Amino acid sequence: MAVRAGLIARWRARLPVGPRTPVVTLHEGDTPLVPAPRLARRAGLGPEAVWLKLEGLNPTGSFKDRGMTVAVSKALEAGARGVLCASTGNTAASAAAYAARAGLRCVVLLPDGAVALGKLAQALAHGAEAVMVRGNFDDALRLARGAATGTWALVNSVNPHRIEGQKTAAFEVVEALGRAPDYHFLPVGNAGNITAYWRGYREAGKGRPRMMGWQAAGAAPIVRGRPIPDPETAATAIRIGNPASWKEALAARDESGGLIGAVGDAAIFAAYALLAREEGVFCEPSSAASAAGLLAFARRGGFKKAPKGVRVVLTLTGNGLKDPKSAETLPSRVRRCAADPAAFRRLLGSR
């Protein structure tokens, strides 16, 4: 089979597609799993303990493409004329791209003023019709759910085909490591992805990791045990106060012996900088919640009883390029120079 043929081609037998399903694909999936030795050292672990699943290398720059190839293919099969979603940005970008490929209309409901620039640019570039909702993601999802009837297909993760597609990331991790890891860290927003990985690991049948989900402290309904009416975090992808897959996330946590914790924005942004500076991986701030969670868990002695040869996987859910404004908050060094060789030599010699 061709390299990166797309995940329906690769995992067809384990997905809800049939011979008559029109496959809409951008050859998503097959993302790299790379070791993170410096992050591992900071967590007090060996150089081969921590691995990063780089989901930002999917076609539209986030893990959403895994769910979207299945959801849009199934929508087309069912005769939908358009797709609809609420989104903090990545779902919208992905839905827009796959809808463009399928020749479907795409309407995206976005929380006004709380979507990273790159994601909005992507959705608009692909021809999506954007609706800015005066409210947050949870309000937008309520509107989307209420309107998704007739020939409109809802492609949020409440659509079961999304979860089916996203579970393939766990299959790839198992394939790369030869077994499931001992721990899997990932950010939690609407809680579809933690649900999907847990299903994927169970279906792969090669061991079960503890599922370690992380919410932003200002948007941590599952940790607090109640919906948050006005979630707040600069990690806008996970600025969600009432996750649709709440129950499923609790099941993943409890069945796996894992946990769902909260990390503050300062810790999230510190991890975001660390991944970029020390591992050469530029993810978006929300993705860095998984690394912030790893460091918080390690600091409170979570790995004390970890076996030698422990394997820890972190999903980095989205590409750093999506959110240039957040990148501007990173410590950086920019100097101006005349277009003159001597001036540049002087500058190089000074620090």
Nearest to 59 by CA among 9, 33, 93, 109: 93
Closer residue to ligand F0G, CB minimum distance, 55 or 303: 55
Closer residue to ligand F0G, CB minimum distance, 45 or 109: 109
Please, what is the minimum distance in Å from the beta carbon of residue 44 to ligand F0G?
26
Closer residue to ligand F0G, CB minimum distance, 25 or 195: 195
Lay out the sheet containing 259-263: strands in order across. 33-35, 50-54, 312-316, 183-187, 210-216, 259-263
| Token digits of residue 188 | 């939690």
C-beta separation of 158 from 244 below 8 A: yes
Residue with tokens 């089916």: 164
The DSSP string of 9-68 is: HHHGGGTT--TTPPP---------EEE-HHHHHHTT--TTSEEEEEGGGSTTSBTHHHHH
Please, what is the minimum distance in Å from the beta carbon of residue 252 to ligand F0G?
11
Closer residue to ligand F0G, CB minimum distance, 73 or 242: 242
**106 in helix, strand or coil?**
strand
Closer residue to ligand F0G, CB minimum distance, 163 or 204: 163
Closer residue to ligand F0G, CB minimum distance, 251 or 306: 251
Nearest to 311 by CA among 53, 56, 54, 45: 45
Please, what is the minimum distance in Å from the beta carbon of residue 238 to ligand F0G?
5
Closer residue to ligand F0G, CB minimum distance, 45 or 222: 222
- Rounded to the nearest 10 degrees, what angle do helices 90-102 and 117-125 cross at? 10
Please, what is the minimum distance in Å from the beta carbon of residue 203 to ligand F0G?
18
Closer residue to ligand F0G, CB minimum distance, 80 or 289: 289
Q: Binding residues for ligand F0G, per CB under 6 A?
A: 62, 64, 87-91, 157, 187-193, 237-238, 284, 286-287, 317-318
Closer residue to ligand F0G, CB minimum distance, 138 or 182: 138
Please, what is the minimum distance in Å from the beta carbon of residue 33 to ligand F0G?
17
Dmax (CA) for the chain in angstroms is 69
Please, what is the minimum distance in Å from the beta carbon of residue 334 to ligand F0G?
27
Please, what is the minimum distance in Å from the beta carbon of residue 310 to ligand F0G?
24
Please, what is the minimum distance in Å from the beta carbon of residue 105 to ligand F0G?
19
**SS3 per-residue string spanning 172-206:** HHHHHHCCCCCEEEEECCCCHHHHHHHHHHHHHCC
Helices (H), the chain: 7-11, 37-42, 64-77, 90-102, 117-125, 137-147, 160-166, 168-177, 192-204, 221-224, 246-256, 265-278, 289-299, 324-327, 341-349
d(CA 177, CA 351): 43
Please, what is the minimum distance in Å from the beta carbon of residue 282 to ligand F0G?
13
